[in-house]
Amino acid sequence: SFVNEILRKKMSNQAIRLASKVNYVSAGTVEFIVDNKKNFYFLEMNTRLQVEHPVTELVTGIDIVEEMIKIACKQKLEINQSDIKINGWSIESRIYAEDPYKEFLPSIGRLRKYTPPKEKKEKYKVVRNDSGIKEGDKIEIYYDPMIAKLITWARTREEAIEIMKLSLDKFSIDGIKHNIPFLSSVLSNHNFEKANINTSFI
């Protein structure tokens, strides 16, 4: 992939240096932007849990929320940076109550049907669905229109994509517009499958 191990290591080292410099001691995310020559530039640091944290949890095997709670309780981390290894690939799809055919306008209404795919945790396959709603709930205009986060994990990127496509096909939502057809289209796109993408891909 474009972000190879060398580039990942350089960015990780910079992120650790930044967090150490400001004495930051909890979960956070340092974001960089990368050009086509693999030069990277600091964008921002979010001193909070990111919405993509399940991806990190699945590829590292570390429960970030649990570690944050331990830190807040003044407990010392029992893991070192050298203990953290990347295992396999994970992808997250955000299921939103919005209409991709109308410039992603939010869609409000009652969820007449909400049946997510069955969650699985097998040796070489994980399907996880993080959601705070249920069938019959109403999607309002007052909050972020995210319905769920669907996350898959597998040994390779190709397998993770395939599991995600199958899982999205098993999602059943009625009563509001949603972005599942758009997500399925992205996952089936040849350039996405080959990781030949940039910020203007969509």
Catalogue the active-site residues: 44
C-beta contacts of 55-62 below 8 A and 24+ residues apart = 55/90, 55/91, 55/92, 55/151, 58/88, 58/90, 58/126, 58/128, 58/151, 58/153, 59/86, 59/87, 59/88, 59/89, 59/90, 59/153, 60/84, 60/85, 60/86, 60/87, 61/87
Sign of CA dihedral 172, 93, 81, 154: positive
